[in-house]
Structure 1
Amino acid sequence: MGSTSTLHFEAAVTRPLSVVFRTGEAWEGHDYTVEVVAMRRGLDGFDVVVDFRDLEAALDRSLAPLQGRLLSELGLDGPLALAQRLLAELAPFVPAPAHLKEVALTDGRGRRMVVLS
């Protein structure tokens, strides 16, 4: 088998998120599973992509002010804007040579939307 430095590895963490969107006069509550995926070529000295605890802590910090909120009050007009915001906020917390690959939102019906970096 070849060296692990030629292979790409991914690490993902997930957290629940409940938010409300307003479209016109209608209010829509959504429960999502937020998945954040980091990727790198090869593994570090501890055979990991990134420290899961650090990635989870960064995700928790980003989600805390969003939980249960009306996202239009925060300047977010839908799930795409939400995923893009999370991608931008979390990217700096993934240390090189790893990088943030994607943020995915999966709703209660299993519909999944992915934003790639």
Structure 2
Amino acid sequence: MGTPEFHFEAAVTRPLSVVFRSAERWEGHDYTVEVVAERQGLDGFDVVVDFRDLEAALDRALAPLQGRLLSDLGLDGPLALARRLAAELAPFAPPPAGLKEVALTDGQGRRLAVRP
């Protein structure tokens, strides 16, 4: 079992394709969504969080977004998208773990991260 003085992180990733509308322009984006959980020490199973729960939660959060025009869902851009995902996924990294960040990386390597 990990000792409490060590800080651990664990991440899950999934692809996401969405469309944004800005002014008169439509933009399609393919992202890699990365969700990072963290904690001091490890639990009794030597993990940060249960990956199955975090992956399932991420899959559920992304399913209604896949291929959608995000303004139809009340999201005006990548920052709003990352914030929504962070809010939805935070409960799946329960104390003593926590959600460290949700990051979106596009096909050109540009990365936007939100830390709750």
Letter in 2 for 1:29: G
Tell me what 2:17 maps to: 18
User: Residue 48 of structure 1 aligns with which residue?
Assistant: 47
List runs of 5+ in structure 2 lacking aligned partners. Answer: none
Secondary structure, in 3 states, of the residue corresponding to 2:4?
Answer: helix
Alignment of 1:74-89 (within 5 A): 74-89=73-88
1:7 deviates by 1.2
Partners of 2:100 and 2:59 in 1: CA distance: 18
Q: How big is the shift at 1:22?
A: 0.1
Give the Cα–Cα distance (whole angstroms) in 2 for the partners of residues 98 and 91 of structure 1. 10
1:8 maps to a residue whose letter is H
Query: Structure 1 vs Structure 2: percent identity of aligned residues?
Result: 82
| Aligned position for 2:113 | 114
Q: Which runs of 5+ in 1 are unaligned?
A: none
2:101 is matched with 102
Q: Distance in 2 between matches of 1:99 and 1:45?
A: 16
Name the counterpart of 2:56: 57
Q: 2 CA distance for matches of 1:48 and 1:93?
A: 14
Q: Name the residue aligned to 1:33.
A: 32
1-structure distance, mates of 2:65, 2:54: 17
Q: CA RMSD in A?
A: 0.8
Aligned residues: 115
